A and B are shown apart, each in its own frame.
Chain A
Amino acid sequence: MPAKLLVVDDEPRTAELTAELLRRAGYLVDIAASGAAALASVRSSSPDLMLLDYEMPDMEAPEVLDSLRSGGDRIAFPVIILTGARHAAGDQVLGIERGATDYIVKGTDRQVLLARVRGALRDRAPETRIISSGRLRIDLAGGQAWLGARALKLERRPLQMLQLLAARPGEVVGREELLERVWGTNYAGFEHSVEQAAHQIRRALAEPGWIETVRGLGYRFVAQP
């Protein structure tokens, strides 16, 4: 099933051309011509990713991001903002706070656009914040995990890694994906980070069986009674 993208731009030719480039790359693409239309479209059918023009007559990208987040919804899909040049450390910082995944300067080569869309889709946030499996309960937002009544002592990254694995029980999650999604805002040199985090998770759980190492590939969460 190809990913479903929503292109939001008030300039119809820009929207249609961007959509066509993405369709040719195999994506299903919808178009919204304003911030309000984008919000309506998201509510009727949630896209896998949104490409959002920074400046539109009815609202600017940060307002759209704020509206997406309000009303009990959180942005469960990545948003890439299409923009012109920006002042360093101004609206960009807002972008982080408001949940933009990436930025693309308009006029960027198609290959770069497609690479950034692929990258953002890979990083999709897990749908649920609180995950339960048997006696294990993970609350990422609260920064806590429990096994039965016992709170597990885990630092942020091992906790994120546990959450990521537990969200997909039985599935091997590759080392690369863990690096990207758990350590993603960091730079390089993680030769042992994943192993160390796995070690910390196992020590905190203090019961065998939950986390399996799949040699050469990654790790698998195995639900325990």
Chain B
Amino acid sequence: MDSGTGSSPSPELAAALHRLRSTLARLKAELELAREEGAAPPVERIRGDVDEALELLRAVERSALGLVTVLVVDDDVRLAELTARGLRRMGYDSDSADRFREARPGEVVVFDLGLYSGLDESARSALRSARPIVVTGATDAASRALAKSLNASDYLVKPIELEELAAAISRRIAEG
């Protein structure tokens, strides 16, 4: 169906909205049941549903507002957080972590190559499919080869200015 402005919502947006509605409906049903039975609401399940709804809302925002989500992974957690904060001030939805976790759909991963050796095979494969922006203190051929094997979208050598990182993020987004 066409909206009044002549543009139709993206399939990603429609899917996220659909799932958001169904999560909220489930939440409402849980609460109504608990009220009818005079029982305490199932706090853990409700908490899980709310987390899921917020996660879906993020997907909606990403699709509708062009929000860019970034995960900065560095073993130096304070520096990772400072970078994430700098990115937040530049308008990115950015989090930091001291270890790699599976990326959310559409999330751009900034990965410190120094953490590679600690990853198991499934994490390495998840990292490859995220096509990370690799950040490293080393410029040797072995590091470059490793970045390449990780399917890296960019390879940045520390120290890195935020603007440089933002440019790499834009390139990564443009590649799709």
Residues of A within 8 A of B (CB): 84-93, 95-96, 100-103, 105, 107, 112, 115-116, 119, 176, 179-180, 184-191, 193
Contacts and interface: CB of A to CB of B under 8 A. Distances in A.
A187 B79 contact: yes
Contacts of B67: 85-88
Interface of B: 54, 57-58, 61-62, 65-68, 74, 76, 78-79, 81-83, 85-86, 88-93, 95, 112, 135, 137, 158-162, 165
B61 A187 contact: no
Contacts of B93: 85, 105
Given A187-B165, A188-B74, A102 B89 contact: yes
B161 A187 contact: yes
Contact of B83 (A92, A176, A188): A188
Contacts of A107: 54, 57
A85 B74 contact: no
A187 B90 contact: no
Contact of A187 (B54, B66, B91, B158): B158
A189 B91 contact: no
A100 B89 CA distance: 8
A24 B95 CA distance: 24
Contacts of B79: 179, 187-188
A88 B61 contact: no
A28 to B, nearest CB: 24
B162 A187 contact: yes
A185 B67 CA distance: 21
Contact of B65 (A86, A100, A186, A188): A86
Given A85-B58, A187-B79, A95 B112 contact: no
Given A96-B90, A176-B78, A186-B159, A85 B83 contact: no
A112 B67 CA distance: 19
A85 B61 contact: yes
A191 B54 CA distance: 39
Nearest to B75: A188
A188 B81 contact: no
B113 to A, nearest CB: 11
A156 to B, nearest CB: 13
Contacts of A119: 81-82, 85
Contacts of A180: 78, 82
7 contacts: A96-B90, A101-B85, A179-B79, A185-B86, A187-B158, A188-B158, A190-B159
A193 B165 CA distance: 20
Contact of A103 (B89, B112, B158): B89
A87 B91 CA distance: 7
A88 B158 contact: no
B162 A189 contact: no
